[in-house]
Amino acid sequence: MREELFRLIKDHAYRFREEPFTLASGRKSRHYFNCKEITLHPERLELLCKYIVGQHLPESGLSNSEAFGGLTMGADPICFGISLEFRKQSKNVYPLIVRKQAKDHGTKNLVEGGVNAVKSCVVVDDVITTGGSTLQAIKSLRDAGLEVKACVCILDREEGGKAAIEAEGIQVFPLFKKSEFGSLE
């Protein structure tokens, strides 16, 4: 399954061009990974979440996690897919959505979902570069009273994000690293 996911990412999510892309972090790179080409495609998302739940989480020691959450929108489909994969095993594992900013009406929550049903969460992201989005999600999850146990991401661009997240005491378990895609940069 991992090899098939790798091929799907390489064929559908990875782009190279001479004129650099501007990344969410503000950095420039000729290499771009748009993992939404995986997470917003039903068949690819299903394969991704089957792999995460069936192989990646057990190998990472995270099979008994209560919830998965991350900053909207990169993490949303992954968290929902993981939750549905666990439902196939008759387990309730909650997807949590972390807003980029609190609503100015209603409950004004930054974290939505089964926050009161769980004590801990694994933070999720699609691509980690500097770790800024993931760190924002971690802060919001912690502020909501949750223990953040670990981080799972599809791709670590190997540009300092993993170290920044681990400096917060959170182990990062990427499915893939940028260096696996050949001599990139």
Dist CA 146 CA 135 (whole Å): 14
Annotated binding site for orotate: 129, 157
Annotated binding site for 5-phospho-alpha-D-ribose 1-diphosphate: 99-100, 103, 105, 125-133
* Short-list 80, 72, 154, 79, CA closest to 110: 72
Angle, vertex CA 76, rays to CA 72 and CA 78, nearest 5: 140
Annotated binding site: 99-100, 103, 105, 125-133, 157
Q: Show Cβ contacts of residue 23 under 8 Å, excluding neighbours closer than 6 positions.
A: 29, 32, 129
* C-alpha radius of gyration, the chain, whole number: 16
Q: Show Cβ contacts of residue 116 under 8 Å, excluding neighbours closer than 6 positions.
A: none
Q: Determine how β-strand 111-113 pairs with β-strand 94-98.
A: antiparallel
